[in-house]
Amino acid sequence: MKYKIAIIGFGTVGQGFAEILEEKGVWLKERYGLDFDVVAISDPVKGSVYADPSRHGTGREHGLDLKKILSLIKETGKIDSYSEGIKGWDSVRTITDTNSNVIAEASPTNIETGEPGITHIRSALNNKKHVITTNKGPVALAYRELAKLASENEVFFRFEGTVISGTPALNLGLEALAGIKIQEIRGILNGTTNYILTEMESGKTYEEVLREAQRLGYAEAKPDADVEGWDALAKVLILANVVMGGNLRVQDIERTGITGITLQDIQEAKSENKRYKLIGKVRKENGGIKASVRPEKLNIGDSLAQVNGVLNALTFVTDELREVTIVGPGAGRRETGFSLLSDLLNIHQLLEKSSSTIDPSRIVTC
Ligand SMILES: NC(=O)c1ccc[n+]([C@@H]2O[C@H](COP(=O)([O-])OP(=O)(O)OC[C@H]3O[C@@H](n4cnc5c(N)ncnc54)[C@H](OP(=O)(O)O)[C@@H]3O)[C@@H](O)[C@H]2O)c1
């Protein structure tokens, strides 16, 4: 099968994904038999282009020239002047009306409404197109509905990059650890806050480090999503509902950010051989699932206390292996772009393995 990919949202992640596909395309085909074209890209500011096979004149079915697209975006910040194809289709039309069969959704996360991601994903699944996404909103707010829709339409819905980017958190919990009972998952799920807490240990105030983080591009000008714990909450919600089988909503999760942590708190913890970390936690309790995001003072020997700077980490507390901890990048252009490739390869391998009998609902739900 040839995967005809439409990329929706061409910012940091969409471009990172395109770069990886452009650089590794030949090797991916040789090594994994992954045959693909990127047939369309849609972004409200950078532009939209669809390499419609019936319109570009050669009669040959092919996708966009990613090398050209990437150099255009580098030089002009836009893809509008790409020489071939249909221009200007919005995201929904690109999803529904192009000959794509895989939608790579990388539009901005909105943890209040899940939009525009939910609409994009619903449209793709209803049109029997596989979805790979890094957008946390739709998975945090509408996982059950979207997984059901994927199953009904016999397509895959994969979203590895929604929790600590390309570091394989969901694949680890759902696939590598299948057969194990997970009692708790706890982790450092946000690089910006981990960077701030790490740097405060050297005696800088919260405000000083926040400004530094903004200058380095680790924190947004409006940092609330990170420092108030919303970004970590979205990931906790995904872990709770996808890996632990819960059905939690945003309001079910206790959330405290790091804005109340003072330099004095950090120094006191240091003198006790402890360290503050913003910990996202999901645990089985009294037959249900409980989840929280809050700063916790960890013993210095705790594996999560050793994870500093922008790094992220997750510890799975299990019956058979006791604790399994994974540490890796939680953000970044290539790191998150890679998560989309990982989802695509996963779909490809599942389809290859069982091309006639596979039931996607067995894979997308836990
Ligand atoms: N960057 C990371 O390291 C990382 C890590 C994990 C997960 N994620 C998630 O991945 C997604 C993409 O992140 P990013 O860093 O690439 O964000 P980004 O740089 O802001 O890119 C998102 C792009 O989508 C565009 N967009 C907005 N509305 C759209 C629509 N209706 N249809 C199509 N495109 C639309 C945005 O345009 P405007 O600029 O005009 O809004 C922007 O160009 C987000 O959901 C994010 O939470 C990112």
Ligand 1 pocket, residue 33 CB under 6 Å: no
d(CA 133, CA 101): 14
**Interval between CA 225 and ligand 1 midpoint (Å):** 14
Tell me the pLDDT tens digit for each residue of 142-175. 999 999 999 999 999 999 999 999 999 999 999 9
Q: How confident is the model at residue 360 (pLDDT cuts 50, 70, 90)?
A: low
Structure tokens at 327: 């540490």
Tell me the pLDDT tens digit for each residue of 128-150. 999 999 999 999 999 999 999 99
65: three-class secondary structure by DSSP: coil
What separation in angstroms does the CA of 174 have from each of 167, 179, 322, 352?
Answer: 14, 9, 16, 20
Tell me the pLDDT tens digit for each residue of 221-256. 999 999 999 999 999 999 999 999 999 999 999 999
Ligand 1 probe mutation, 8, 10, 12, 121, most atoms within 8 A of CB:
12
Region 32-51: mean pLDDT is: 97
> What pLDDT is attached to residue 250?
97
> What pLDDT is attached to residue 363?
53
* pTM for the whole structure: 0.95
> What pLDDT is attached to residue 56?
54
Region 94-110: mean pLDDT is: 97
d(CA 340, CA 127): 20
User: If 0-12 CB within 10 Å is exposed, 13-18 middle and 19+ buried, where does residue 256 land?
Assistant: middle
**Interval between CA 156 and ligand 1 midpoint (Å):** 21
Q: Give percent of the chain above pLDDT 70.
A: 95
Q: How confident is the model at residue 62 (pLDDT cuts 50, 70, 90)?
A: confident
> What pLDDT is attached to residue 359?
57
Domains assigned to the chain: 2-166+333-364 (3.40.50.720), 169-328 (3.30.360.10)
**Interval between CA 115 and ligand 1 midpoint (Å):** 12
Active site residues: 235
d(CA 145, CA 249): 13
**Interval between CA 258 and ligand 1 midpoint (Å):** 25
Mean pLDDT across the chain, nearest whole number?
94
d(CA 276, CA 223): 19
d(CA 103, CA 340): 10
Q: How confident is the model at residue 57 (pLDDT cuts 50, 70, 90)?
A: low
> What pLDDT is attached to residue 366?
33
Ligand 1 pocket, residue 329 CB under 6 Å: no
Atom of ligand 1 nearest to the CA of 16: 16
Q: Is the confidence at residue 322, as pLDDT, over 50? A: yes
> What pLDDT is attached to residue 53?
77
Ligand 1 pocket, residue 98 CB under 6 Å: no
